[in-house]
Amino acid sequence: MTMILNVTVGDLLDDVSKRIPDKEAMVYADRPVRYTYEQLRIAADQVAKALIGLGIKKGDNIALWATNIPEWILLQYGSAKMGAILVTVNTQYRIMELEYLLKQSDCNAIFLGEGFKQSNYIEILNGVLPTLADSPTDSPSSFENLPMLRHAILLSEKRVPGTLNWSDFMSYGLNISDMVLKDYQNETHPGDVINIQYTSGTTGFPKGVMLTHNNIINNANMVADAMNLIEEDRLCFPVPLFHCFGCVMSSLACVTKGATMVPVEVFDPAKVLEAVEKEKCTALHGVPSMFIAELELLKNTSYDTKTLRKGIMAGSPCPVEIMKQVISKMGMEEVTIAYGQTEASPVITQTRIDDLLERRVSTVGRPLGEMEVKIVDPVTGAEMAFGEQGDLCARGAGIMVGYYNMPEATNLVIDEEGWLHTGDLAVMDHQGYCKITGRLKDMVIRGGENIYPREIEEFLYSHPKIADVQVIGLPDFKYGEELCALVRLREGETATFEEIKDFCKGQISHHKIPMYVDFVDSYPVTASGKIQKYRLREMYIEVYNLQEAAKIVTA
C-alpha cells in the first residue's frame, strides 16, 4: 500500500530538485522549453516571489485561465510555494461562466492566456470588466461587479490596456529575498487548501472544490504507483491542466516520482503522436475521445509509438473495444483505467498494470491506495451486498475539504462519517473491483467534461421564446455523450434549431451548446408530475437513430 505523504507541494518540488537536479522535469516537443528539476524549482521560486511582490498573500485566491502552456505549470508550483490558492478556470469558459467563477471564488487576481480556439480571452474579460482598459496597472484596481479582483496578468509579452504582461509581473519579484520566500513557504502547511477546482453539481451551477496539499499530493502519488510511473518515465499529457487529470494525475504525479512531463498545449492527435515520437515518451494520458482520434490517425499515418508502455484512460466511460485497440495498436500494454471525481482529488478506483486484461477493460478497478469504497442503498444508506447496485461512496486522504462558501452543498455529499457520496451507481465484486452502471444525478459527461443539464436549462430559460426546456445526454461514438435540448416554446412562438444555437454562442462554453435541439409540446411525467428524463433519453435515442452508440460497452 502506498505510504501517506505529509508534505507541501513546494517542499515536494524542493526535495526532488535536490535529489535529481539535472533530470528533465518539463519538456515541450513543439517549442524550445526544457527545464531540469533544478531549473523548474528556480523558476517556481521566481514566480512565488513575483506573487509576493504583487501583494498576493498566503490564502489569497488567484485564477488561472490558460491552455497547457509552460507558465501554467510555473504558476502551479510557484503559487503553491508561497501559499496562494490556485483557482483553475475551464479554457472554454465564456462571459457568464467567467464572471460567476471570479465572483464566487473571491479571486484577487486572474492570470490569463491569449485565448483558446475561437475564444479571445482579453475580449471575454473585457466583457466581464468593461472598465478594465481604463484601469491602472501600477496599482491595484477595483471593479464594481468584482470587488475582490485587483490584478489581471497576461501570460505573454503583449501589452494590453489594464493588464500586466508576463515580464511586468515577474519584475515584481526582483526585490523579494530568498529569506522572505522561505518564511512564506514555512508558513504553508500540508493541510492547507491550495487548489480550488470548479465542477458541476446538484445546484446546477459550478461549485469550487477545495483541495489541500495532502489531498492532491497523495492522490497523485497513489495514481503514479497504480500505473507504475517511475523516475525514468516520460509522460505525455494532452489533457487540460485545469482538470485534476492534468494538474494532479499528470503534472503532480510526475513530480512525486521525478518523472519527466511532456505537456501538449491543446489536444491534437498529430501533436500528441509527434510528441510521443520525438520525446520517446513511455506513458500517455487521455480521455477516450482522445485515444479514438489518435487511433484513427494511426490508420493512415505512421508514428513511432514503440516506446509507449503505460498510461491512463479516464474522464468518461471507457469503451472496451477502444481499450483493447490502445493496447494492441499503440503498444500500451500496461494502460490502466481510472475512475473518480474532482471531490476526491480525483481518483477513487483504478485498475493495476498486472490485472488480467478482462478486468482492465471491463471494470474501473479497485480502491486506490488507502481509499475506502462502499456501495450503499441510495435511499436507506445501508451497505449493499457484493454484486448489488447502489451509490458508490468513498473515504480517504483525497476527499475534499468541501465546496468553497457552500457548506450546505458540502453536507449533501459528505456525510458525518466522512464518506463522499458520488451519486454514481456501481456494483462491486468480492475482490473490490467496481463497474459503473449509471448515475443518480443526470450529469452528462462529454469528452471528459462534466456538464450538469440544470446549468444549461437555467441559461436557456432566459430566451424570451422558451417556456420550458429539458436537457439530456444522448450516446455518442466520439465524445461518449452529446447534449440534447428539448424545448417547449411559449404559446404562439416559433423558433429554429439555428436560432437556439446562436443564442448560446459566446455566452456559454462550446461544449455546453446542445448538439441536438427539438421542439416539443409536453414531456413524459410520473404520477406526481416529475419529468422522466430517462424516458426522454430512450425516446430520443430512437428519434436520432443512436441505437448503435447506445450499445457501446464501458467499464
Q: What is the reported pTM? A: 0.86
Q: Who wins on pLDDT, 233 or 438?
A: 233
Min mean pLDDT across 96-110, 194-208, 307-321 is at 194-208
* pLDDT given at position 93: 92
Among the listed residues 421, 372, 364, 374, the one whose alpha carbon sits nearest the alpha carbon of residue 396:
372
Fold of 444-550: GMP Synthetase; Chain A, domain 3 (3.30.300)
Give the tens place of pLDDT for each residue, 378-411: 878 999 999 998 999 999 999 999 999 999 999 9
Q: Domain residue spans in the chain?
A: 9-213+231-266, 336-439, 444-550
Q: 9-213+231-266 has which CATH code?
A: 3.40.50.12780
Please determine, for residue 443, whether its predicted confidence score (pLDDT) is greater than 60.
yes
* pLDDT given at position 315: 80
Q: What's the whole-number mean pLDDT along residues 108-120?
A: 93
Cell 424516458 maps to which residue? Answer: 535
Question: In sequence order, what are the residues at sequence separation of 6 or more whose Cβ sits closer than 8 angstroms to the Cβ of residue 174?
Answer: 49, 53
Interatomic CA distance for residues 433 and 442, integer angstroms = 24
Give the tens place of pLDDT for each residue, 122-154: 999 999 999 999 988 877 777 989 999 999 999
Confidence of residue 526 (pLDDT cuts 50, 70, 90): low
* pLDDT given at position 145: 92
Q: C-alpha grid cell for residue 300?
A: 493512415
Confidence of residue 5 (pLDDT cuts 50, 70, 90): very high
* pLDDT given at position 203: 46
* pLDDT given at position 519: 97
Q: Whole-number mean pLDDT of the chain?
A: 93
Interatomic CA distance for residues 406 and 43, integer angstroms = 35
Longest dimension (CA), the chain: 72
Give the tens place of pLDDT for each residue, 21-72: 999 999 999 999 999 999 999 999 999 999 999 999 999 999 999 999 999 9
Please determine, for residue 207, whether its predicted confidence score (pLDDT) is greater than 90.
yes
Question: In sequence order, what are the residues at sequence separation of 6 or more whose Cβ sits closer than 8 angstroms to the Cβ of residue 111?
Answer: 62, 63, 64, 65, 66, 71, 75, 153, 155
Please determine, for residue 530, whether its predicted confidence score (pLDDT) is greater than 70.
no
* CB-based burial label for 238 (10 Å; 0-12, 13-18, 19+): buried
What is the phi/psi pair of residue 320, to 5°? -60, -45
Give the tens place of pLDDT for each residue, 167-204: 999 999 999 999 999 999 999 999 999 999 998 644 45
Q: What's the whole-number mean pLDDT along residues 445-469?
A: 86
Taking each continuous run of H as one helix and of E as one strand, the counts in the chain are 19, 27
Confidence of residue 1 (pLDDT cuts 50, 70, 90): low
CA separation, residue 176 to residues 45, 370, 441 (Å): 10, 40, 49
Count other Cβ atoms within 10 Å, centred on residue 31. Answer: 10
Task: Give percent of the chain above pLDDT 90.
Answer: 78
Q: What's the whole-number mean pLDDT along residues 286-293?
A: 89
Task: Give percent of the chain above pLDDT 70.
Answer: 98
Q: What's the whole-number mean pLDDT along residues 517-536?
A: 80
Confidence of residue 340 (pLDDT cuts 50, 70, 90): very high
CATH 3.30.70.420 fits 336-439, yes or no: no
Same fold, 9-213+231-266 and 336-439: no
Cell 437556439 maps to which residue? Answer: 500
* pLDDT given at position 527: 52
